[in-house]
Amino acid sequence: MSEAQFIQRRGAAWKRLESLVQRAGAHGLRRLQAEEVAELGRLYRWLTSDLAYAQGHHFDAQLTAYLNRLTARAHAQIYRGGIQSGRERVIEFFASTFPTEFRRSFVFIGLCIAITALSAMIAYGAVTANPERALAILPAGVVPAHIQKSLHDSNFAFKPAEAAAVSAEIITNNIRVSIIAFAGGMTLGVYTVWVILLNGFMLGGTGALFSRAGFGYDFWATIAPHGVIELTAIQVAGGAGLLLAAAILYPGRLRRADALRTNGRRAGILIAGVCAMLCVAGAIEAFFSPLRFTALVRLGVGALTALCVLAYFGFAGRFKATRAV
């Protein structure tokens, strides 16, 4: 291969690597997205081979010097970027990586939100018209036999000293459901969609039963403080599952194995964030929700958590992403 052919074939990769190194700048790899960091590492490995090839074939000295300088700059970024404390990585994840991936994957997450909303409305309408339909729509054990008191009075029978254990149980169960929704992506998304559908049926069907019994206002007020975060987390987990399904069904120009690895990394980011969200929701459900606040106060707390969720996923990490361009 001649020098001209070498430059023509490899020049675009060098320019791409140079742009990534320049964007990283003085702040290091923290200014890049996870996929860009992986790309930088891959291009760096290719560059070292290109440099060896150019030196071995005695190509122009200016070309060799350029490749040398670029190799040194990329090397400095990679090895400096690796020196980051665990605390910094955690802060970086929640301040930028997770919310940025949420926005990037919102097509899949939004689809789960739409499925949940639609299935909840269908279940609510069906059970409101005929309560016996709850037996067909909802899983066994979910349908209350006789609703004689509000959800707030019936759902929190544990003592305050038991709150920590209850919180752990709630968190464990919700994370299990989220992992199932995520893993369902390997069934081409069929099981993921079923989990999301079932979640919506349970929400709408149970709400309809309590509403028919005269406790509808209290029902929504009781689930509002923790429910916004919990329900959002379930939708994100479903979106992660659909990401896996998309890699299998629509790999694009990538091989399916490569597409699955790429989307698997993205889905892993979402699931890690979901686990943290469910820890927060479980703590609220066990420590705050049982308290004897009025329904209006509980709805207000739910509205506040909704605003926080919207602000976090809407704006966190945007400043960094803009600054890095």
| pLDDT tens string 40-65 | 888 888 888 888 888 888 888 888 89
What is the chain's Cα-based Rg?
26
Q: Report the alpha-carbon distance of residue 52 to residue 58 in Å, rounded.
A: 10
Rounded mean pLDDT, 18-41: 77
Least confident of 20-24, 95-99, 113-117, 194-198: 20-24
* Residue 77 in this model has a pLDDT that exceeds 80: no
**The pLDDT value given to residue 322:** 44
Rounded mean pLDDT, 267-275: 93
Cα dist from 84 to 87, 88, 258, 318, whole Å? 8, 6, 28, 21
* Residue 81 in this model has a pLDDT that exceeds 60: no
Q: Report the alpha-carbon distance of residue 134 to residue 144 in Å, rounded.
A: 10
| pLDDT tens string 287-303 | 888 888 888 999 999 99
Q: Return the domain boundaries, the chain.
A: 3-84, 91-324
27-54 residues labelled b (16+ CB within 10 A) or e (exposed)? ebbbbbbbebbebbbebbeebeebbeeb
**The pLDDT value given to residue 83:** 46
* Residue 318 in this model has a pLDDT that exceeds 70: yes
Contact between 131 and 209 under an 8 Å Cβ cutoff? The reply is: yes
**The pLDDT value given to residue 154:** 66
| pLDDT tens string 124-183 | 999 999 888 888 888 777 766 677 777 776 666 667 777 888 888 889 988 999 999 999
* Residue 324 in this model has a pLDDT that exceeds 60: no
Q: Which of 98-102, 141-145, 208-212, 257-261 is modeled with the greatest confidence?
A: 98-102
| pLDDT tens string 176-234 | 999 999 999 999 999 999 999 999 999 999 899 888 888 888 889 989 999 999 999 99
Task: Give the angle 181-183-185 at the CA atoms, nearest 5°.
Answer: 85
* Residue 11 in this model has a pLDDT that exceeds 50: yes
Least confident of 48-57, 83-92, 251-260: 83-92
**The pLDDT value given to residue 244:** 93
239-274 residues labelled b (16+ CB within 10 A) or e (exposed)? bbbbbbbbbbeebeeeeeeebbebbeebbebbbebb
**The pLDDT value given to residue 246:** 93
Contact between 236 and 179 under an 8 Å Cβ cutoff? The reply is: no
Percent of the chain residues past pLDDT 90, beyond the cut = 39
